[in-house]
């Protein structure tokens, strides 16, 4: 065969021409919005799956470092491409920086400064996510639909994974003891919130007048999946947040009939699947054998597939019918009236039902309010009936947070200090790390100053977001173009997160918080829709030209370099606590192998990486005790007490050493005084006190003449 024949570019006879298109031609046909949706959606899903519930230091640290690096690079690119245009959302970004600085500075008065360091790292990564949203909208304001699609894709991916743990428990959750969905976060309400954050996106996708009908039809099965995830997580807070977010969307977006067409069949399909699931003990009761969970889980998988297919067909049918004959204005008005009438009849029906109940309307309301606000209320059962229960233990955590805040009303206990300060005020033996409410947690941790900064941040964010969405005076008279509907949907997502954060601690879960902060940043940075950001110039050429750096742009280049350097410093600071923990683990392993000098060197590295933590000092006391140097072990524990005098743990460790290692019962009793003041219900502290009292009494009796 000649070289000419081998190089013949013509396709063989009968071959499809598309197979011979050049890759560049195929890439040119890919819509940029689709690329943004897939790339950003997978990234947000990776954040959620990678960080989990935000309580494991290693995975959380890696996600935070990635967010800080991405935020720094995006911010630098936005500075270089921004020119001299006004930066919308700058005040909100600055106040977010003030919140991060306050969180970090609170280490000076924190009851547990190493936890404050962790919270400062978390807040810095959230600042990067919020700033990343502002940077993205400055770089590519026309990609709003890609960002909105990415949020829906991420929520759907996480919800599908959560449901898959029920369908295939042997592969994904063999040791699960609870019936409620709680993976990948390890917390059911976070699973519910992630699903609730996707509901507004489903309404937008299924109700929009643009886009391919087959793609829009995917909103129906996606909405069904998200609703099933909320219900199987038994998450009342997520259900409430989803309802309020949907109410906001229907109130401000004029696509109500289309939205109902998405929500109604999806809700019906979700209710049918969950009603069947709630009737199965293997899916609705705790501590079920794996074999039973596996068999019934496969049946749940079949039900979910059937629901997805049915809702997909319903979406295609609705799209086909509306394309052939769209409802006229009169039909839409009548449908809107019927929708409002049905919504109005729901609370009326509930009121009538309560009026004819045993307690009557007033008694039922009074009982519900008492169960909701009583700090000593009984915890609802961990079963499907929880969805209709009113009682909650959150009022107990709220009440304790208020007590902690009142003890230090101006500055609080320091960021992340709630868990350490709570034992002094608690009336139970539960180990609770969060106040289950952002406002209450902020008051306990940062006091009135923290609340004031957060309020200023909220107001500073709402002003540019209101201008971007047109929710000012005469907002109904403004045209509802595709972008405005998309921006209002992003606002609904932020509303869902805000409502849920008020009644739970999902602010600490990176997967949910980062998604909402990205939407909030986009809204803050968008600016009015008539702004120059929305110029009709081709986006690729415009961005390429804006990134050209000339002699007059050197200050912008320097500012971008400073931002990248700050991101690098933040990432370095974020890594240090994990370095300290790893070095401490290495030290204990070396000590168990009797390599004491190497263990002491590893402890020195841990103290250098995280000088605010008492854990390296605890490790030092263990190693010194193994070497038989009791005085040095005592000195290490005493340094831990001086480092965190308001933390009961160092006092308890020192008391345990004095009693069980040094045999000094009298000294142990002296140390137990502050320990039991800080944590009166500590089981370890009570046992140590009883044993020390017994030994001290025995020693006194033995020494008596």
DSSP reduced 3-state for 300: helix
- Please count the other Cβ atoms lying within 10 Å of the Cβ belonging to residue 569: 13
Q: CA 198 → CA 157, 237, 301, 503, 561, distances in Å? A: 10, 15, 21, 19, 36
pLDDT of residue 339: 65
Q: Compute the half-sphere exposure of residue 380: CA atoms within 13 Å on the CB side of its CA.
A: 18
pLDDT at residue 254, rounded to an integer: 87
Closest CA to 127 of 106, 101, 108, 148: 101
Q: How far apart are CA 94 and CA 477, in angstroms?
A: 33
Cβ pair 596, 82 in contact under 8 A: no
What pLDDT does residue 126 have?
97
What are the structural domains, with CATH classification, of the chain? Answer: 31-326+402-546 (no CATH), 576-703 (1.25.40.10)
Question: What pLDDT was estimated at residue 564?
Answer: 93
Helix ranges (DSSP H) in 168-235: 169-172, 188-207, 213-217, 219-232
| 426-460: pLDDT as tens digits | 888 878 889 989 999 999 999 999 999 999 999 99
Q: Per the structure block, which two tokens stand in for 167?
A: 């369908």
Q: How far apart are CA 649 and CA 542, in angstroms?
A: 58
Residues 6+ apart with CB under 8 A from 564: 72, 73, 76
- Would you state the structure tokens that stand for residue 410, as one six-digit string? 């101006």
> Which pLDDT belongs to residue 433?
87
Q: Is the dihedral of CA 600, 602, 605, 610 positive or negative?
A: negative
Rg of the chain in Å (alpha carbons): 29
Model pTM? Answer: 0.89
> What pLDDT is attached to residue 383?
75
Which residue in this structure is represented by tokens 């401000």?
A: 252
Task: Count other C-beta atoms under 10 Å from residue 325's C-beta.
Answer: 7
> Whole-angstrom Cα distance, residue 214 to residue 194?
25
Q: Between vectors from CA 270 to CA 265 and to CA 271, what angle results, nearest 5°?
A: 100
pLDDT (tens digit per residue) in 207-243: 988 878 889 999 999 999 999 999 999 998 999 999 9
- CB neighbourhood size of 448 (10 A): 15
Residues of the chain short of pLDDT 70, as ranges, are 1-30, 82-85, 323-378, 390-391, 529-553, 699-705
Cβ count within 10 A of residue 692: 24
Question: What was the pLDDT predicted at 428?
Answer: 80
């Amino acid at each position: 065969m000649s070289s000419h024949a081998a190089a013949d570019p013509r396709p063989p006879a009968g071959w499809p021409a598309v197979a011979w298109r050049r890759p560049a031609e195929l890439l040119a046909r890919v819509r940029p919005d689709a690329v943004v949706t897939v790339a950003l959606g997978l990234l947000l899903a990776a954040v959620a799956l990678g960080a989990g519930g935000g309580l494991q230091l290693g995975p959380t640290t890696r996600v935070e470092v990635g967010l800080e690096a991405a935020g720094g690079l995006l911010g630098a690119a936005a500075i270089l491409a921004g020119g001299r245009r006004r930066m919308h959302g700058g005040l909100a970004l600055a106040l977010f920086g003030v919140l991060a600085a306050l969180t970090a500075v609170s280490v000076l008065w924190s009851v547990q400064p190493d936890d404050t360091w962790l919270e400062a790292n978390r807040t810095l990564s959230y600042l990067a996510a919020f700033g990343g949203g502002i940077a993205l909208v400055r770089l590519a304001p026309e990609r709003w639909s890609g960002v909105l699609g990415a949020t829906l894709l991420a929520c759907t991916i996480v919800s599908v994974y959560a449901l898959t743990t029920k369908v295939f428990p042997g592969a994904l959750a063999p040791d699960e003891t609870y019936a409620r969905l709680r993976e990948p976060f390890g917390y059911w309400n976070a699973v519910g919130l992630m699903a609730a954050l996707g509901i507004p996106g489903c309404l937008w996708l299924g109700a929009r007048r643009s886009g391919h009908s087959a793609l829009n039809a995917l909103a129906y099965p996606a909405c069904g999946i998200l609703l099933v995830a909320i219900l199987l997580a038994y998450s009342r807070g997520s259900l409430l947040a989803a309802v309020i977010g949907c109410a906001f969307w229907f109130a401000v977006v004029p696509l109500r009939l289309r939205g109902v067409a998405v929500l109604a069949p999806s809700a019906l399909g979700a209710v049918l699947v969950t009603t069947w699931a709630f009737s199965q003990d293997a899916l609705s009761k705790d501590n079920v054998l794996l074999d039973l969970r596996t068999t019934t889980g496969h049946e749940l998988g079949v039900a979910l597939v059937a629901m997805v297919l049915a809702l997909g067909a319903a979406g295609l049918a609705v799209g086909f019918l509306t394309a052939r004959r769209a409802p006229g204005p009169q039909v839409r008005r009548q449908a809107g009236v019927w929708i409002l009438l049905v919504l109005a009849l729901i609370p009326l029906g509930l009121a009538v039902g309560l009026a004819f109940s045993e307690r009557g309307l007033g008694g039922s309301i009074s009982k519900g309010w008492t169960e909701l606000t009583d700090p000593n209320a009984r915890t609802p059962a961990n079963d499907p009936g929880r969805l209709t229960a009113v009682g909650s233990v959150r009022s107990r955590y709220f009440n304790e947070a208020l007590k902690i805040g009142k003890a230090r009303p101006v500055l609080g206990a320091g960021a992340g200090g709630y868990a350490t300060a709570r034992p002094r005020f608690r009336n139970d033996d539960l180990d609770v790390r969060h106040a289950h409410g952002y406002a209450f947690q902020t008051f306990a941790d940062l006091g009135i100053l923290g609340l004031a900064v957060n309020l200023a941040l909220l107001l500073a964010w709402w002003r540019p977001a209101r201008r971007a969405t047109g929710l000012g005076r005469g907002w109904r008279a403004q045209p509802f173009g595709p972008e405005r509907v998309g921006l209002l949907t992003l606002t609904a997502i932020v509303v869902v997160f805000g409502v849920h954060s008020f009644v739970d601690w999902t602010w600490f879960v990176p997967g949910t918080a980062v998604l909402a902060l990205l939407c909030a940043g986009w809204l803050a940075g968008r600016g009015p829709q008539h702004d120059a950001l929305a110029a009709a110039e081709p986006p690729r050429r415009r961005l390429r030209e804006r990134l050209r750096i000339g002699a007059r742009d050197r200050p912008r280049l320097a500012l971008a370099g400073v931002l990248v350097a700050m991101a690098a410093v933040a990432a370095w600071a974020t890594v240090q606590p994990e370095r300290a923990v790893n070095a401490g683990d290495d030290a204990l392993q070396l000590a168990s192998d009797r390599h004491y000098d190497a263990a002491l060197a590893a402890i020195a590295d841990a103290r250098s990486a995280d000088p605010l933590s008492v854990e390296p000092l605890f490790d030092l006391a263990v190693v010194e005790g193994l070497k038989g140097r009791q005085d040095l072990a005592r000195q290490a524990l005493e340094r831990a007490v001086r480092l965190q005098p308001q933390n009961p743990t160092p006092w308890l460790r020192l008391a345990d050493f004095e009693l069980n290692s040094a045999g000094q019962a009298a000294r142990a009793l002296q140390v137990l005084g502050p320990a039991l003041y800080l944590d009166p219900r500590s089981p370890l502290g009570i046992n140590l006190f009883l044993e020390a009292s017994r030994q001290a009494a025995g020693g006194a009796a033995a020494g008596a003449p």
